[in-house]
């Protein structure tokens, strides 16, 4: 399956050694994320440090390992879909526009997210962590 990753999935994998992390590291799925998600993840690193007790360097190394096989969708690549994503997600949660734009501009099967706001739109399928664990 080919999925766009939401930031909340990456943060879960950084905070806890879990099935989320195993799925992210598995070659079974092709994953991508909008360029914006890397910046957004880094904004939350102090929380990850606090919750894990790891140093910033250890977290950066773990982040690098998690994202090693993940394609980054540059903002320019998704710019054609940005207007449609804004029309759909803007009234719901403008912070989710980059994820929907990435999904609309690539040949992916949907978005992997536990964000309830993303599930309110119906243009792109949203796969929850529970769905992903079920799929293996």
Signed CA dihedral, 91, 93, 97, 99: sign only: negative
Name the domain count of the chain. Answer: 1
The pLDDT > 70 percentage for the chain reads 99
pLDDT digits (tens, 9 = 90+) for 16-52: 999 999 999 989 999 999 999 999 999 999 999 999 9
Task: Specify the CATH number for the domain of residue 87.
Answer: 3.40.50.1010
According to DSSP, residue 122 is labeled: -
Which residue range is the domain that position 22 belongs to? Answer: 2-135
| Closest to 5 in 3D by CA, of 130, 134, 117, 108 | 108
Tokens of 62: 């773990």
- pTM for the whole thing? 0.91
Please name the residue that has the structure tokens 């992916």: 108
């Amino acid at each position: 399956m080919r999925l766009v990753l939401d930031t909340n999935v990456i943060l879960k994998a950084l905070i806890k050694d879990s099935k989320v992390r195993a799925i992210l590291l598995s070659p079974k799925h092709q994953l991508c994320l909008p360029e914006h998600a890397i910046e957004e993840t880094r904004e939350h690193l102090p929380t990850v440090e606090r919750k894990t007790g790891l140093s910033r360097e250890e977290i950066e190394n773990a982040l690098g390992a998690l994202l090693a096989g993940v394609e980054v969708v540059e903002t320019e690549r998704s710019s054609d879909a940005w207007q449609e994503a804004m029309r759909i997600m803007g009234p719901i949660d403008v912070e989710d526009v980059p994820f929907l734009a990435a999904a609309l501009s690539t040949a992916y099967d949907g978005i992997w997210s536990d964000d309830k706001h993303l599930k309110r739109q119906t243009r792109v399928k949203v796969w929850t962590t529970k769905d992903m664990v079920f799929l293996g």
